[in-house]
Every structure is written in structure tokens, then in C-alpha cells.
Amino acid sequence: MKSLPERTDVLVVGAGPAGATTSLFLEQKGIDHLVIDQSEFPRDKICGDALSGKVIDVLARLDPRLVNEMEALTGEFLSCYGITFVAPNGTDLSIPFRTKVADRLTAAGFISPRLDFDAFLVSKIHPERLRTSCKLISLSKPGAIASAPGTGSIASAPGAGPASTTAGEHQVTVEYQGEQRTIRARYVVGCEGERSLVAKEWAGYVKDKNHYCAALRAYYTGVTGCHADNYIELHFLKDILPGYLWIFPMSNGRFNVGIGMASHRIAQRKVNLKAAFEKAIREIPALRERFAQAQPLTPLQGWGLPLGSKRFPLSGEGFLLVGDSGSLIDPFTGEGIGNAMKAGYHAAEHLALSLQNGRRDAAWMRSYDQRVYRDLGGELQIGKTLQKLTNYPRLFDFVVGKAARNRELRNLISSMFDDISLRNRLRNPFFYLRLLLSRD
């Protein structure tokens, strides 16, 4: 068992996509840091397991060889070349991803069990920087942070003994090797996912049902009728709007299947998601046929999605939030892995500057929020608009129906996977007016 350092410049809590990516970029910059995770890897995370082009872009930014290495693990990673939307009235629209694959010679997306993908990322963390089975259990109160050498008074954690303090450092208590231990860190990065203690204790995060989604996932075999190019499928069923049932093909003849819905609607309509899923695959003719021979490999298991339809604070004195800890999931698609990894990149960039200029005050740390929202804010806003569109099933049916008949519109939507400026058109009411007036 590795010993636990008593101090580090940057403590990264959580080694999911957010924490692992933050660590890999910090490593590139030669920044002293420590990553802790309560789990041992490989470990599962309930998820749709779909990795978008954004994931590939971040990996390529780290090192293009990582993308090739990931692709070579064909037993675990399945290339995916498009997406099928099924509107509430059953009309389907299949769109190939038109990303810059030609010059990259790689698929635009992948499906990989998180068991494998997260372990792949974690295997790239410098082993000296990583402590697994190491759980964050409490944080120093923001007011207890030492402010000048020798004058600080960090309250000791129970059983941790007196701590020597240094100017402007946090003190956190972790459980490691059956003992409570203390780590001091100039900066803490909260990457613990949707149940983040850092977000709750330091950023005052409180779950908001209007910006939250609940979802269930199961692995299956024997689902039939999938696209030959491994398209992922989103079925917007009228009983679960805003939300969808998904079918994502995987390697080795398995399927990641699940259902998710906005939490405020679940509460309003008292929806039982498990029952809604079972009813859909039993009663909707197109699904019933495709699930006729299907066998579940796991039970339906639930987890929450903190959505980026509201901007939550991502920082404060000497700390940052990355990934689900910062509620950065796309409200329409549910994509959170790519956003977590992008935010990890920004966190490392911000921390490099912070260590250079010695600043950790809340006003300075807010420039991280600005970075992240400059990069992801536009997309999250579009996701919010599209999520609202699903509140109007007829309009949604109409857009999907029109696109299914109109090649130009299909090409436009296909390009939207690449080009955020094109996606902005979806926020413009004139887009829908022109659609209404256009010929099929």
C-alpha cells in the first residue's frame, strides 16, 4: 500500500473523467498534485457509455496516440457513426455524424462501458499521484483556512491530531487504509460527481429538481434492428418528456439501454421510471418487436444527472468544481463525459496560472467559471432550448418529420454535431418559421 502525502499543491478528489483529465493536464504542466478516489478501478458508473467527439478531441489534445490506443481496444470500444432520433409520434430521423473524421481517421464517437473507459483514463495517471480506496470525508470550513504563516487555525478533524498550517491552504480529512488522515492542499478540485461534498460544503450546491434528471440503465443482449453503423438511438416517448429512452449498441453483442426524465416532471406526474421503461418495451410495437428476444444482463439501476441548464458556481477560495460536481451535463442529450473532460482541461490551465501568480482568492478563481462557460455555455444553452422544445411534442414531431423528409435539413443537423455556430440556429424562432414554409 502506498503512503499518503500530508501535503500537495493541488488535491483532485475523484478519478472519473473529470478528475483523471484534470490530473493528466496537470501532469503535462509538471504541477504537483494528488488524485484520490474512494473506489478501486476498474469500477462501474451508471451511464449510457456514449463518448462523443468532444472526448476524442480532449484525448487528442493530451496526446493523439491516446485516441489510437483507445481504438485499438476493440473488445471494449465500439465505433459509432451516427444518431437516430425517434419523435413522440414514432417518426425516426437518422443522422450520420459529419465530424472531421477524414483527417483524423477515427470514428466520431464511441460506446464503451465506463468500467473500461474510466480504467483506461486512470491507467494514464502517474501512479505516484494516485491513491484509490481513499475517501474524502470532511473539509475544513472555508473560514478555518489559514490566512498568514503561523496565524492560521484550521480546526482539526476528529482523531486527526493537531495540524501544522501554512498560509492559504485547505485541510481535508480522508479515510485511507482504515484510518482518518489529513491532507493539506493549496487548491482542491472537486471531481466527485453528482454527490460532491466539495460542491455542497464550499459552493453551497443544493440539488434543484428543475435542473436535474433521473435515469435508469441496464445492459442487455439480443436487441434487434439496430443500424449497421452502430447509431445510438434516442426515443422521445410522449409519457417521459422531457426525457428519452435510449438504445446504444456495444461491443460483444451487448446493448446499453435506459430511460431518463427531468426530475421536476417525474415529481409533477408521479412517474415510475422503471414501470415506464417496462411498459415501453412491452407495448410500443416497434420496441416490442426489437426486445422480443432480448435478455437483461443487469437490473435497471439508477443515478442522477445534474444539468447545466442553470449556471451553478464552479469555484471559490482555493477550489474548483469539474464535471458533474459543477452540473455541466447537456440538458438535452445527457452528455456529461466530454464536458467533464473539457472542464478538466480548463481547470489545469487555470491552476497553472494560479500557481504562477500565487492567487487563490474567490474573485480570481471565478475566471475559471468564465473560461468554462465561454467554452460550454453556448452549447448548454442550446441544450436547454432543445429540452424545452420537447415540452411541445407536436412541434418536436414536426421538426423531426420535416428533417426526415428534407435532405438539406438532415445535412444541416448532421453538420451541427461539429459546428456550434450552426447549432445556434436552433435557438432562433425564424429557423422554425423557415422550416414551416420550406418544401419537403
State the minimum distance, in angstroms, from the CB of residue 100 to ligand FAD. 20
Q: Shortest Cβ distance from residue 338 to ligand FAD (Å)? A: 6
Q: Cell numbers 509538471 label which residue?
A: 30
Reading phi first (left if > 0) and then psi (alpha if -120 to 50, else beta), residue 177 is in: left
Q: Nearer to ligand FAD by C-beta: 50 or 67?
A: 50
Among residues 223, 240, 329, 386, the one that binds ligand FAD under rule CB under 6 A: 329
- Judged by CB, which is closer to ligand FAD: 46, or 101? 46
3-state secondary structure of 372: helix
Contact call for residues 289 and 283 (beta carbons, < 8 A):
no
Among 33, 37, 140, 173, binds ligand FAD (CB under 6 A): 37
45 binds ligand FAD (CB under 6 A): yes
Q: Contact with ligand FAD (CB under 6 A): which of 10, 26, 35, 50?
A: 50
Encode burial over 87-119: b for 16+ CB neighbours within 10 A, e otherwise. bbeebebbbbbbbebeeeebbbbbbbbbbbbbb
- Binding to ligand FAD (CB under 6 A): which residues in 333-392? 334-338, 340
Q: Single out the segment in contact with ligand FAD by CB under 6 A; choices: 185-193, 276-284, 376-384, 403-411.
A: 185-193
Residue 240 CA to residue 245 CA, distance in Å, equals: 8
| 267 alpha-carbon distance from chain centroid | 24
For residue 173, give the amino acid letter. T
- Give 45 or 184: the residue with its C-beta nearer to ligand FAD: 45
| Cβ 291 vs Cβ 281: under 8 Å | yes
Q: Residue 82 interacts with ligand FAD (CB under 6 A)?
A: no
Long-range contacts of 296-301 (CB under 8 A, 24+ apart): 296/218, 296/219, 296/220, 297/218, 297/219, 297/220, 297/221, 297/254, 298/218, 298/219, 299/218, 300/216, 300/217, 300/218, 300/258, 300/259, 300/274, 301/46, 301/216, 301/217, 301/218
Site for ligand FAD in 192-251 (CB under 6 A): 192-193, 197, 215, 217
Of the candidates 168, 242, 249, 323, which one interacts with ligand FAD according to CB under 6 A?
A: 323
314 binds ligand FAD (CB under 6 A): no
In whole angstroms, how close is the CB of 357 to ligand FAD at the nearest point?
27
Which of 16-24, 94-102, 266-274, 422-430 is the region at the interface with ligand FAD (rule: CB under 6 A)?
Answer: 16-24
The site for ligand FAD (CB under 6 A) is made up of 13-19, 36-39, 45-50, 135-136, 191-193, 197, 215, 217, 258, 260, 303, 305, 323-325, 329, 334-338, 340
